[in-house]
Every structure is written in structure tokens, then in C-alpha cells.
Structure 1
């Protein structure tokens, strides 16, 4: 799982774990009761908040710890969902501060597939990609990449902390470039447009598909995907993991009597709507 801070990773994970443990929704993958997720305590509060219609909230920084969930298909073949940092600090630092930890770099090279989370509501407006600053990818690829990757040495860039905290389309492109570089192979990536219930309100009815969403709201990022199809085996999904804004009192009254799983919406790459959050993790 990859994504900048506030990109929807924690909400997706809390909703996924709840869906699989409650077992009320038919899913392509399932949990083994004897094989509990490693590090589940890190998101227990998020799961509790989710089930009580409370905002999941920002995840505390977990850069030193990994969260792993092993799931099984109907043939009892397993896959491992590997989450290095739910808060997104690792990914932000990779782009903003030009640093990355060696174990994270190694995990990218070993991964069979990535979930790349995007929250369109948190991306700052940007009309062009700046070519003046040296990119994170260029710095990693240069001679001192050994220091950056193996020693996690920080190389600061100019700009205020406020500027560094903002996420732009350029940042998403740089993050994706770094993943591609570190993977050293054609990358299978499921791009997850999170908070779909909010995002679709910004689109005309004819544009309410995951692909057209990126074309309209994040055109620079969308163009990068289209021009790198030979390096990225990518699919774009829309996901509403919690279904509505928990701070909206009218929506809360409407949904509070319903099963949580009924609020989940997954828009597939071919624009079909399903409820199964585990489908994004299938390798075929």
C-alpha cells in the first residue's frame, strides 16, 4: 500500500478488516481466524472509530513498524498485504526530503503488486510540473543514492514547511516514478481514487468513472500514466470505504441503522459497482 498522508489508506484498511472479520459481505479473499494480522493493534482504534461512525482520523507515524495481513482465496492460496507506513510519512519524505529507508526500498522490489492511493480532495491545484528542481528520482539515481537508500540520509530542499506539507500532482508523479525505479520491472499497480462518494460530486454524470475522474481532476498525473503504459500495468478504481462523511448529521441519521458493509462502494476499472474491498488485492 502506497500513498501520501490523508490519501485514504487507513480508512480502506479499517473497512477491509471489518468487512472480512464480520463476514457479512461475499468477498473474493478471506481471513484465517488462526492467522491474525501482524500489527493489527496499530489500527484497532481506527477500526473502533469506523464501526461507531466516528472519523478514522490521522494515523500516528509508524515508519519503524510494518503491518501485514495475510488473505486467502477460495483455493486457500494466500497473498500478503504489506503496509510499511499507514501515515504516509515515508512516501512524503521520499518526495519532499529525498530520503527512503533500505527495508522499504527492498520491499518495493519484491512486491508483486501495489495499491497506490489518491485522494483528489487533498491535492493542491497545479497547472504544470516544475522542471527547475531536481526530482527525488534523479537524486536517488545519482551517485549518492547509496547514502539516501541505505542510511536514510536526508537532503533538504528549499521551501517552507507549509509548502512541503502540500501535495501536488507533481508529487504524485515523483512518487510513482520512484516506485517504478525501485521496482526495476514493469509494475502492476491498482490506483485507488479514495473518498469516491465525495469525488463523484465534483464530476458530471458522464465523467463519473475512475479513469475520467483522473483525466478531469488530475490531468497531469493522468497524462503520465497514459504515456508510461509500457512501464505500468495499471488499473484505476474508485473506492468509498466508509460511504459518507461521518460529520454530516443528515447522512449519519440516514445510514446509522444499516450494516456498515452496505455503505461500501467499489467502482471497478470497467465502471461496475461492487461492495467487495478485497477485489483490489487480486493478482489476476
Structure 2
């Protein structure tokens, strides 16, 4: 069986760090993993650079800092003979923001989605701005002008509102769309032209999972609590997406925590990885890729 899947996500969602860790795993053979790299297409210099940064606890450069970088990994599951091509388009994700804000997409992405059997979508658990409640969002809005029928002698109300405040009236722009809305829009786009509509597997990866571990929540509980719009979309579109959630910490440690970095440096880089599905946490970052390749 051969299959293809595409890896997508907004800027800063964790795709590049995942790719850096994945490239190390399939190249270094430090630890047994479920998939073997048969060949790849893309810039090996770029892959080696981000992998080296990841191994040495350095920030991994996003593609927006280096130019568009499309990567295709051809992977094999030797236990079943299943093969797959994993397409990482424009890894930094700015193109996906364009898709939401400007309603346009690259032809190469549309073509690859037409050929794919599955999608891996990344969400960053550390995007705190996206998880504000209505009350918290309201608290960030500018003050409203005084009511027009206020007492003309009320100097306090008049002094608290000026012409400058009126001139600074906020106008909503597409770039202000919350992350959860963007995610649902990207997935909704796959259900209409120019994309080819059919049922696909969807591996939803929640990155920076090490931040969530202390809460004791599962990936399903986290998405339901923090991104209910995304959770509702997945539950109501099961005819189009066979979805599965994963918590992944490809980085494995906060690079600003010197004590944690020193402790992590004593381990093989592969052992820093944490991946949570429905069972015990593991270190094999290829687990969600294998699920996307699996038939049935």
C-alpha cells in the first residue's frame, strides 16, 4: 500500500521543530523507530541545519527566515511494506495565514492535497492569546464613549473621552482572526473547490505538550477545553475526517531553563521527545505518521 499525506499548520505551530526532530530520528538511528527513510526531496543543508540546532538546544529557524522550503520524505514501514510520502509545504506556515486572510493558496499545495490520503495539522499549546475568554477579550477593548444623553454638565464623562479616542476607533482586519477560527477555516477549505473533496485521515498534533503534562489532561480533553470550536468541527465532520489527536513535545525541554537543559543533555536527543496518544507516553515521533499510513 502506498499513501501520501500533507503536513500543515499556522506560523509557530511547531512544524519546523517536529521536522528537525524527525530528520534526526530517521537519520541518526539512535533508537528504533517505526518508520524508515527511503529517500527525500528538498534542501538537505536546511534539514541538517535545523536538526543540528534542535540537537544542541538552539532555537530552530522557521522557514520565513530562510525562504520557502518544501520537503518531501518518502517513508517505509518495514513490518508491513507500507510506503508513504510526507509533504511539508512551506514549513513556516505563512502561506496558511494567506489562505485564511487573502483566500488564496499555492497551486503546488492544492495539487498535493489532491493526491493525499491524510493530513497532519499542528496546533501550539502555548498560543495563550487564542485561549482568552469573552470576559478577558472584552477587558482588552478600548473604553466606550459616554452615552449621548448624559448630563451636559457632567465634566467627568466629557474629560474621560476625547476626539483622539474617537479617531483611534478599532477596525477589525482578517489578520486578527483567532487561531481556532483559522484552523477551522483551513480544514473547511479542504471540503470545497479548488481542493478535491474526499474522506481523509487527520492527525491533529498539539505541540509544546510538555506544558500540558502537569494538568493531567489527554489531548482530547485539552482540545475540548481550550479550542471547543475545533473540537466541534471535528465531531460534526466525521464523514470527511477520521481524526486522531496527539500531544507532542519535539523540543522536550524549555531551552531557557538551564537546569533542565543540562539534565536533558545527558540523554540521547531522541529521548527528549515526548509523544502522547491514548496510552503511555513514548519517544517515537513517527507514531502519528504511521497511523496516517495505516489502512482501516
TM-score greater than 0.5 by the shorter chain: yes
- Over 3 Å counting, the alpha-carbon distance change for 1:19 and 1:78 in structure 2 is same
1:26 is matched with: 32
CA distance in 1, matches of 2:53, 2:113: 31
CA distance in 2, matches of 1:183, 1:212: 31
Please report how far the alpha carbon of residue 126 of structure 1 lies from its aligned counterpart in structure 2 after TM superposition.
Answer: 5.6
2:17 is matched with: 11
User: Is contact 1:62-1:87 (8 Å) kept?
Assistant: no
Q: Deviations over 1:185-242 (max 9, x none)?
A: 01211000111001334x3x2xx21100101111111111111122211101111112
Moved more, 87-96 or 99-108: 99-108
Q: Does 1:2 align with 2:11?
A: no
Moved more, 36-45 or 80-89: 36-45
Specify the SS of the correspondent of 1:239: strand
- Over 3 Å counting, the alpha-carbon distance change for 1:235 and 1:199 in structure 2 is same
Moved more, 184-193 or 97-106: 97-106
1:142 is matched with: none
> Which structure: greater strand fraction?
2
Q: Does 1:254 align with 2:263?
A: yes
**Bigger Rg over Cα:** 2
2:204 is matched with: 191
Structure 1 vs Structure 2 CA RMSD = 2.1
User: Is contact 1:63-1:84 (8 Å) kept?
Assistant: no
* Runs of 4 or more above 6 Å deviation: none
Give 1:133-152 correspondences, 5 Å limit: none
CA distance in 2, matches of 1:115, 1:23: 23
1:242 is matched with: 251
Q: Does 1:172 align with 2:180?
A: no
Q: Deviations over 1:20-70 (max 9, x none)?
A: 1111211110124xx354323233321111111112133226775521111
Q: Does 1:281 align with 2:277?
A: no
CA distance in 2, matches of 1:80, 1:40: 17
CA distance in 2, matches of 1:233, 1:62: 34
CA distance in 1, matches of 2:105, 2:250: 29
CA distance in 1, matches of 2:75, 2:108: 22
Q: What is the TM-score with the length of structure 1 in the denominator? A: 0.80
User: Is contact 2:20-2:51 (8 Å) kept?
Assistant: yes
Specify the SS of the correspondent of 2:212: helix
Please report how far the alpha carbon of residue 159 of structure 1 lies from its aligned counterpart in structure 2 after TM superposition.
Answer: 4.2
Q: What is the TM-score with the length of structure 2 in the denominator? A: 0.77
Specify the SS of the correspondent of 1:189: strand
In structure 1, list runs of 5 or more residues that go unmatched.
Answer: 129-157
User: Is contact 2:23-2:47 (8 Å) kept?
Assistant: no
Please report how far the alpha carbon of residue 105 of structure 1 lies from its aligned counterpart in structure 2 after TM superposition.
Answer: 1.0
1:38 is matched with: 42
User: Is contact 1:225-1:232 (8 Å) kept?
Assistant: yes
In structure 2, list runs of 5 or more residues that go unmatched.
Answer: 1-6, 135-170
Q: Does 1:54 align with 2:58?
A: yes
Specify the SS of the correspondent of 1:121: coil
2:153 is matched with: none
CA distance in 2, matches of 1:239, 1:92: 22
Pick aligned residue for 2:92 from 87, 91, 95: 87
Q: Deviations over 1:119-169 (max 9, x none)?
A: 1222523658xxxxxxxxxxxxxxxxxxxxxxxxxxxxx745xx7166421
